[in-house]
């Protein structure tokens, strides 16, 4: 008998940056697969570039001239011998044209098919598919293709009244809250409609919008799915993602707490039904709104990619989502024991965003003098920065995630609070102090929070203040802390830490 041909040696191009790229590169290193990083001018010295086996410069800093350029990504892959591409999240991760271009090269696309991205990424089509699969949906309406301006406004007003206020004017494409407006009465509709269209056009190059019933108050619960592309689907638990601001999540946990077993099961069955109906391939997330009573849930959307918050699923359910994605992409199917896993622990994470929550979440950019992360059992850091990194205004504000895992929700919460209190990102302002206060709140402990809780109950939040009697002591200590010079030249320089800005420090 002849010998079997050797397995191909793969090189995966990571079509992303920052914390996302760092996490993906680490996952592929764990299974011995080489990686190629791509970078813009702004990211030339970023940690993910140094971590990869090879790298290629894409172009100028704006994403439109680098990370969103399909032709540049293809050229980089050709030059450096890519055999596969992982898109991560954001950028081109849900772009069907990108998936088609990758597969046209004969490379593996570590994600869904182009048809999945197209159909499930279009919210109107996704709702139709969900309805056909028996998934509960809120009342909605999509305008006909051609209406005169006067007839259109009248039609929107009539349908909004029929659905019942409040309603959402919502972009057909994209996500992240872009192209979305809450409308509480007919008078607000005339202004919300063109505003949503303008934002949708600017964000997704698609100004189509539709009308949807707005569920308020509601929790945001999502179900992790993994499909083999042949109809086999694994459900890997659920996540709670209700603590968010303007549809941008700040705190996430797995499994979702305080949900009745029968509701959880029905929600997961609905996610399975939708994914099976399209023979979904790869990792995806089916998102739902759960009403205040915890009795009724409604389909929100399906994201055809790996989610930012996947680490809490990994830690709670004992899986590695990137490794599972790779198995499916290679055609090896879903490993036995992946479906219906029982949670082994409880995991909570906060996103570390370079922005000032006390000043309307204004971006905080510049050079990071010191990045000090916590450690210990049950603590995981997914970071895209290090001491000396520069945060620029060109990309998303998220620079890292702090994840804590414990035997139960209370233990995970305590671990995460302690981890936050030993983290220092200096001198940038970050969302860390707000994240800590959210975790310490009675609302978090009792799971009484909803998608608009931060905007409603925390709108007047301000940075915690250091007591006056501590300020002199802390200032004196800060003056004594030195960082060694980068080379043998010169003397040690004063070290920049969180003590440089006393606000937000808990003594």
Three-class HEC string of 464-502: CCCCHHHHHHHHHHHHHCEECCCCCCCCCEECCCHHHCC
Angle in degrees, CA 302, 335, 253, rounded to 5: 45
What is the C-alpha to C-alpha distance for residues 232 and 234, in angstroms, rounded to an integer? Answer: 7
What is the C-alpha to C-alpha distance for residues 48 and 14, in angstroms, rounded to an integer? Answer: 10
**DSSP letter string over 176-203?**
TTTTEEEE-SHHHHHHHHHHHHHHHHHH
Residues whose CB is less than 8 angstroms from the CB of residue 107 and which lie 6 or more positions away in sequence, other chains included: 77, 82, 83, 84, 85
Quote the strand ranges of 292-409, DSSP E: 297-303, 346-353, 355-356, 362-363, 366-367, 370-372, 379-383, 390-391, 398-406
Q: How many Cα atoms occupy the beta-carbon half-sphere of 282 within 13 Å?
A: 27
The first and second tokens of residue 198, run together, are: 């303008």
Quote the strand ranges of 255-383, DSSP E: 281-291, 297-303, 346-353, 355-356, 362-363, 366-367, 370-372, 379-383
Q: Per the residue annotation, which of 118, 208, 239, 305 is the catalytic one?
A: 305
Helix (H) or strand (E) holding 96: helix 96-104
Q: At what angle do helices 96-104 and 114-121 cross, to 10 degrees?
A: 180
Nearest CA among 198, 210, 204 for reference residue 170: 210
Give catalytic status of residue 272 as yes or no: no
3-class SS of residue 416: helix
Torsion on CA atoms 24, 25, 27, 29, rounded to nearest 10: 160
Active site members: 305
């Amino acid at each position: 008998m002849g010998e079997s041909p050797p397995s191909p040696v793969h090189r995966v191009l990571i079509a992303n940056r920052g914390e996302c790229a760092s996490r993906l590169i680490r996952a592929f290193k764990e299974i011995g697969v080489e990686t190629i990083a791509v970078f813009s001018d702004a990211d030339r010295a970023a940690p993910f570039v140094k971590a990869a086996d090879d790298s290629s410069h894409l172009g100028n800093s704006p994403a439109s001239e680098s990370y969103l350029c399909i032709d540049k990504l293809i050229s980089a892959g050709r030059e450096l011998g890519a055999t596969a591409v992982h898109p991560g999240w954001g950028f081109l991760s849900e772009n069907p044209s990108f998936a088609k271009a990758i597969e046209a090269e004969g490379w593996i696309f570590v994600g869904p098919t182009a048809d999945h991205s197209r159909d499930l990424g279009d919210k109107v089509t996704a709702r139709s598919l969900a309805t056909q699969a028996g998934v509960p949906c809120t009342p909605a309406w999509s305008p006909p293709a051609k209406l005169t301006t006067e007839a259109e406004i009248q039609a929107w007003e009539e349908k909004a009244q029929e659905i019942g206020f409040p309603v959402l004017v919502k972009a057909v494409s994209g996500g992240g809250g872009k192209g979305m407006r809450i409308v509480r009465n007919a008078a607000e509709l005339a202004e919300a409609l063109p505003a949503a269209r303008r934002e949708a056009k600017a964000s997704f190059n698609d100004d189509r919008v539709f009308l949807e019933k707005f569920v308020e108050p509601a929790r945001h619960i999502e179900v992790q799915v993994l499909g083999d592309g042949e109809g086999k689907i694994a459900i890997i638990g659920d996540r709670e993602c209700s603590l968010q601001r303007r549809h941008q999540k700040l705190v996430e946990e797995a499994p979702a707490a305080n949900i009745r077993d029968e509701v959880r099961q029905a929600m997961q069955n609905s996610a399975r039904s939708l994914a099976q109906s399209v023979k979904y391939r790869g990792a995806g997330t089916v998102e739902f709104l759960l009403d205040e009573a915890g009795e009724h849930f409604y389909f929100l959307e399906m994201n055809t990619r790996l989610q930012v918050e996947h680490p809490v699923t990994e830690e709670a359910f004992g899986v590695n989502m990137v490794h599972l994605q790779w198995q499916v992409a290679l055609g090896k199917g879903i490993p036995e024991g992946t479906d219906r896993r029982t949670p082994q622990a409880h995991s909570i994470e906060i996103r570390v965003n370079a922005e000032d929550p006390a000043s309307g979440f204004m971006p905080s950019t510049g050079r990071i003098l010191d990045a000090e992360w916590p450690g210990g059992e049950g603590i995981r850091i997914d970071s895209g920065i290090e001491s000396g990194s520069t945060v620029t205004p060109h990309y998303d504000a998220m620079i890292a995630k702090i994840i804590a895992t414990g035997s139960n929700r209370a233990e995970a919460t305590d671990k995460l609070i302690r981890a936050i209190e030993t983290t220092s990102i200096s001198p940038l302002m970050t969302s860390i102090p707000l994240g800590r206060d959210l975790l310490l709140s009675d609302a978090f402990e009792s799971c009484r929070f909803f998608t608009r809780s931060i905007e409603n109950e925390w709108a007047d939040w301000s940075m915690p203040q250091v007591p006056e009697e501590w300020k002199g002591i802390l200032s004196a200590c800060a003056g004594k802390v030195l960082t060694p010079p980068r080379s043998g030249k010169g003397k040690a320089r004063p070290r920049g830490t969180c003590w440089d800005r006393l606000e937000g420090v808990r003594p």
